[in-house]
Amino acid sequence: MFALRDHPHRRYNPLSDEWVLVSPHRTKRPWQGQVETPTLDQQPAYDPQCYLCPGNSRAGGEHNPAYQGTFVFTNDYSALLPDAPPGDYQAGDEPEHPLLLARAERGICRVVCFSPRHDLSLGQLSPAELRAVVDTWADQTTELFALPTIGAVQVFENRGAMMGASNPHPHGQIWATESVPIALARELTTQQAHVERTGRTLLGDYLALELAQAERLVYANDYAAALVPFWAIWPFETMVIMRRPAATLADLDAAERDGLADVLKTLTTAYDRLFQVRFPYSMGFHQRPAKIAAPGWHLHAHFYPPLLRSATVRKFMVGFELLGEPQRDITPEQAAERLRVLV
pLDDT in tens, 249-271: 999 999 999 999 999 999 999 99
Write the CA distances from 334 to 18, 102, 277, integer angstroms.
22, 44, 20
How many alpha carbons fall within 13 Å on the CB side of residue 153? 26
Shortest CA distance to 144 belongs to which of 224, 60, 80?
80
Residue 311 binned pLDDT confidence (cut-offs 50, 70, 90): confident
Contact criterion met (CB below 8 Å) for 249 and 287: yes
* Beta carbons within 10 angstroms of residue 59's beta carbon: 11
Q: Are 188 and 294 in contact (CB under 8 A)?
A: yes
Indicate if the pLDDT at residue 333 is higher than 90: yes
Average pLDDT over residues 165-169: 91
Instruction: Reply yes or no on whether the pLDDT at 312 is more than 90.
Output: no
| Secondary-structure breakdown of the chain: helix, strand, coil percentages, each rounded to the nearest 5 | 30, 20, 50
Distance (Å, whole) CA 230 – CA 225: 14
Residues 72-103: tens digit of each pLDDT = 999 999 999 998 887 776 666 667 778 888 88
- Residue ranges and CATH numbers for the domains of the chain are 11-24+181-340 (3.30.428.10), 71-177 (3.30.428.10)
Query: Measured between alpha carbons, how far is 122 from 265 in angstroms, rounded to an integer?
Result: 6
pLDDT digits over 180-221, tens only? 999 999 999 999 999 999 999 999 999 999 999 999 999 999
**3-class state of residue 64 by DSSP:** coil
CA 160 to chain centre: 14
Residue 260's φ and ψ, nearest 5 degrees, are -65, -45
Burial of 337 (0-12, 13-18, 19+ CB in 10 A): middle
Average pLDDT over residues 164-193: 96
Average pLDDT over residues 167-173: 96
Mean pLDDT taken over the chain: 92
Model confidence pLDDT, tens digit, residues 18-63 = 999 999 877 555 444 555 555 556 799 999 999 999 999 998 889 9
Q: How far is CA 43 from the centre of its chain?
A: 24
Over range 94-119, report the average pLDDT.
Answer: 90
**Helix, strand or coil, per DSSP, at residue 139:** helix
Dist CA 151 CA 165 (whole Å): 26
DSSP 140-184: HHHHHHTSTT--EEEEEEEESGGGT-S--SSEEEEEEESSPPHHH
Q: What pTM was computed for the model?
A: 0.93
Catalytic residues: 171
At 145, the pLDDT band (50, 70, 90 cuts) reads very high
